[in-house]
Amino acid sequence: MRTDMNAPHAPFHIPSPDDGGGDAIGMLGMLQFADSFFPSGATSFSWGLESLKLDGKVGGAEQVFELLCSHIEQRWAGFDRPLMQAARTAWSQRGAAALAEATELDRLCEAMNLVRGWRDASRRLGFTQLRVHADLGLGIAQVYLDQVRAAGLPGHLPVVQGLVWGAYGLSASGCDAMAASGLCTTVVGAALRMGLIGHTEGQRLLARTRPLIARVIDTTPPSTDELWNGAPALDIAAMRHEPRNARLFAN
């Protein structure tokens, strides 16, 4: 890896185990990309929490925990996760030739994301991921970013995650853990900013989600022909959030 980081767009990559370091290299990469310090843009979103708070449906830690479980078990597990893993598998099997498949997955995600708040968030976060990783020197991120800009592709987050993280050589389980924990961290961060919980309680909530995330990751993701979303309450919360005049978060 080049060390001259003063050069614009200096190449950046996670070395493979063959470069030395073994599994620790991949783990360090996952810690970097999943850290809240990484400029993913996720802090602009509450994933329905703000709307539920304003409607009086969420008022404390237990309700926040229920929201986290609903997102992971009833939405992410059947929708975002299979799209991400399909994009990652396509890259691992075909490399750059997987771009055509990623494009189809992207359009499928757009077609099946029926709530505008979820669609807009997924597009914005996917675009941010592409831009940041392109700036870090990841070639496939720049190529797909150019296609998103030129061809009007939506660039949805789970597809981008699978493509980009797959290009870094990260494992399937590692990608699952990063995506699921990142979603939970975003929601907990929103709960902190809205005064629903304190910092220590936020850490307790994240710890409580680990067994559920582990159970989901331990199962085989559904195929992209079997995508599902079983969280209508979250969809309604996102739709109710759209017309509100005073909003702290984008969804």
Q: pLDDT tens across 143-181, in order?
A: 999 999 998 899 999 999 999 999 999 999 999 999 999
Cα separation of 192 and 171, whole Å? 31
Q: Are 137 and 11 in contact (CB under 8 A)?
A: yes
Confidence of residue 241 (pLDDT cuts 50, 70, 90): confident
- SS3 state at 179: helix
Q: Predicted confidence band at 3 (pLDDT cuts at 50, 70, 90)?
A: very low
| CB 130 within 8 Å of CB 141 | yes
Residue 25 has a pLDDT of 81
pLDDT greater than 70 at residue 17: no
- Give 173-222 pLDDT, tens digit per residue: 999 999 999 999 999 999 999 999 999 999 999 999 999 999 999 999 99
CA distance 107 to 114: 13
| C-alpha–C-alpha distance, residues 235 and 169, integer Å | 33
Residue type, 13: H
What's the rounded Cα separation, in Å, for the pair 249 and 247? 6
C-alpha distances out from residue 144 to 12, 50, 136, 155, Å: 17, 32, 14, 8
**Which residues are within 8 A (CB) of 211 and not within 5 positions of it... i.e. 6 or more apart?**
none
Sequence-ordered list of residues with C-beta below 8 angstroms from that of 198, at least 6 positions apart, any chain: 192
Q: What percent of the chain has pLDDT over 70?
A: 88
Least reliable range by pLDDT among 3-7, 27-31, 45-49, 162-166: 3-7
DSSP alpha helix (H) spans, 73-198 = 81-94, 99-112, 116-135, 139-151, 157-167, 172-193
> CB of 84 within 8 A of CB of 125?
no
In the CATH scheme, what is the code of domain 45-235?
A: 1.10.4190.10
- Confidence (pLDDT) at 223: 96
Cβ of 164: how many Cβ atoms within 10 Å? Answer: 26
**CA-wise closest residue to 70 among 180, 222, 179, 218:** 180
Total residues found in the chain within this entry: 251
> Residue 22: what pLDDT?
55
